[in-house]
Each structure stands twice: as structure tokens, then as C-alpha cells.
Structure 1
């Protein structure tokens, strides 16, 4: 459901980027190209442009993601592209996400003496405010992940949607609002698992994956690389 929902958000002709630890965005981009966005320009963190990997790697920094590329980009050029306003869509994530769509990838607890020190923003503070839009995703949806107040704001900016295992949020008037609830979840579950207040009345169900979408997904990802993010 998540990878299909993410693919549906992508538009034909866009320049779309994903970074490290991004199996779901990787597969979603390839799925969108196959189904409805053949002119989408796929940019990955290895520097590949419109790569056609023969097999999907388990890590998104694998050199196989340069196979078939039109050209090879340096990572610094991705940030320059975003700063110029030429990057249409970026996929980012966060250990914590608040009701304003801001992300924390830095620390849990006081910054000077944190309970947990996280891996850091990895460029998200440069891309999130400058890409024309950002799609956030997180494979865990619970009150520790979707919080009222972040322990630390690593990045904030042009968030468009947030895709989770339970729902899709859309950012309107500076706040995340429910756009749809996945068909196997419920309004009660989303409210219980979200640490900030959400309005669920009248929110529709996310359309279930179609036969065509599922067939294309299995053709692109026969080894189920998409499930890696749900393990552990």
C-alpha cells in the first residue's frame, strides 16, 4: 500500500530524487515510471539519472543504481539543483515527524545530553526547504514517531505529503491533515497512533492497489526488496 501510494503522488515530467536508506522511494519511482509517468526523471544518491538497474539492490547506495544511466551526477550537484529550484520532488524521512511536517534526525532528549544520538540530517536541511515539494515517508506510525513536539528540529520546509503504514497526510495551512486512511486501518487506529491531534471525520479510504499496480510492482521488485524497511 505504501509504495503504491507513493508512486501515485509522482507526476510525469518531474525531476525526482531519493537519498540513502530509501528502498520504498526507489521502487515507487520505478513503479510510477512504468505506470503513469514515463517522462519522470529519476535521480538517485549514487548519481544515476534514469537508471535501469538489472536487479534491485538492498541498499540505495549500491553502484547498481547507476546502471543504464544517461549521465552520472555528483552529490553536490543535487544540492545545487535543489537550491536553484530545479528539483521538483524529493523523498525524505525522519525518526520523528511533528504536526507541522518538521523532522528530527538528530537527537532524542536534550541536545547537550541526549538519550539517543541519531544519524543526522544527511542533507535534509538543505533539500527540504529548497526542493519544490518533499514527500515524507515513515514505515512506523506510532505516538513516538508522530509527535506533538520534536526533541530537535533537523529540517523543515516544503512538505507536501506524508505516507505511513496507516494513512496519507497532506500539509495544509502549515499543519498535517489526514487526506486518506488505508483500507486495512481505521480512524480510531490513526487517532490512537498519532501523537498530535488529527481530524478523522469524513476522511476517505486510500484506494486499494489495483491489479495493474500490483502486477507492475511484482515485476519491478520480485525479490520484495520493499519489505526491508519493515524489518527490525
Structure 2
């Protein structure tokens, strides 16, 4: 399959989808269009018993076509099998029963620290960010925390974050260039997307790349691309790009 037949948003969505397993309980928050579509893709392709949780409280919504409002639209509740409110999601995670949580951040360093609070000095910041919100609870307590970020540059992946909003227990970070895996207390380069290169990842990362071997993320299959058009006709997965 040639690169021109898919986009970076398709690669990221399929990559994330393939990280999810059948029978896992998975949560996404607001402004999470790409992982929302990835969860729907997983349920449609290889994980039919995956349990989809979200901000409105809808369990396993049958449709995401009208969930456009910050990926928290009424469609996620109106077409759901059951209701599971947000406060119960945090309780579920703290009891060790939430398998995967999709979370965000602005800065990341090689030690797995996540900054979602400020850029610059905390008391006199250049930019004040939204803060940890659910990340401060879910990253330490979910079994697997997956972060996606549609920007990959040296201001995002830094030697040391300006402020540590939360740390540890990361599993994967998926960017437009690659996938990082957190292990042994460090971020390791797991795979490079077929639309990128080692040199591009290296030149846009503010810390030394650690890796065991150079691997490439699998290309989206024809079946995945067909399913993406079916379940995401409004292309929510690309909304952040």
C-alpha cells in the first residue's frame, strides 16, 4: 500500500486501535476524537467485547456520528447500552478495574513526566494550561495510560518538563511521527510511522532516543481504511490536525 493512500491521522487511529484488546474497559475524555474513533474501530474489527466509556456516561454507544461536540456529544449517551457516570470511572480506575485510559499533555520528557499545567516558571508562566484534570488520577491508576499528541517537536518532547502535572505509569505515547513506550523508567522509541523516518523523529525530539531496534508501525490495512470511512464519515479523527 502506498503512503498516499492513507494519512497520518489514519495511521495513528489504526495504531491505537490495534493496542486495544477484546474485553478491555476503555475510557476517553473530552477533545478525544481520534481515540474515540480508534475505540470504535477496535470494536468493529477485532475487539467486539471491548467496553467503551466516555464523558457523557454512555456505555458502548452504537453510534459516534453525532458525537462531534468535543467528542462528548449526546450521541454517545443516546445510543448507549447503559449509563455509567464519570465519577464512577474514577472510582473504577482507583480500584484497578480500568484497563485503558486515553489522556493528553503538552510536554513530555524521557523520564515519563507529563506537563499539562504551565509553560515556563509555575509562578510566572509564559502560558497557563488547563491543568491535570482527570490525568492526575487516571495516569497513576489506570492499568494502561495511552497518550496521543498530534504535534511532535522539541518543544513537546523535552529534556525536562517545565512542571510535572503527573508522572509514571504511562504505557504508550502516539504522535504523528512514532510510538514511544514507557519502560524501565524511560521513554523508548517503539516504532516509527511509515510516513516518517528515524532522522525526522530524532530531529524533532528534545532528548536522546532510546531503542532496542528500529521498527516501523504497520500500515493501515485496506479493511481498516474501509471501516474507518464507515464509522467516521465526518473524519473526526483528523479534527486536531
TM-score, normalising length: structure 2 = 0.92
Offset of 1:152 from its aligned partner?
A: 0.6
Match of 2:191 in 1: 180
Q: Is the 8 A contact 1:15 1:41 kept in 2?
A: yes
How far, CA to CA, are the matches of 2:86 and 2:173 in structure 1? 25
Mapped pair 1:76 → 2:87: yes
Q: Is the 8 A contact 1:105 1:121 kept in 2?
A: yes
TM-score, normalising length: structure 1 = 0.96
Match of 2:48 in 1: 38
Q: Is the 8 A contact 2:101 2:142 kept in 1?
A: yes
**Superposition pairs for residues 42-191 of structure 1, below 5 Å?**
42-53=52-63, 55-58=65-68, 59-191=70-202
How far, CA to CA, are the matches of 1:90 and 1:135 in structure 2? 6
Q: 1:53 to 1:203 in 2, by over 3 A?
A: same
How far, CA to CA, are the matches of 1:178 and 1:55 in structure 2? 34
How far, CA to CA, are the matches of 2:199 and 2:212 in structure 1? 10
Match of 1:6 in 2: 16
How far, CA to CA, are the matches of 1:199 and 1:155 in structure 2? 22
- Structure 1: tracts of 5 or more residues without a match: none
Offset of 1:167 from its aligned partner?
A: 0.5
SS of equivalent to 1:82? helix
CA root-mean-square deviation = 1.2
- Residue 24 of structure 1 is aligned with which of 34, 39, 64? 34
Offset of 1:200 from its aligned partner?
A: 5.7
How far, CA to CA, are the matches of 1:200 and 1:105 in structure 2? 26
Q: 1:125 to 1:46 in 2, by over 3 A?
A: same
- Structure 2: tracts of 5 or more residues without a match: 1-10
Q: Is the 8 A contact 1:111 1:152 kept in 2?
A: yes
How far, CA to CA, are the matches of 1:117 and 1:142 in structure 2? 19
Comparing 119-128 with 197-206, greater Cα deviation is found at: 197-206
Offset of 1:98 from its aligned partner?
A: 1.3
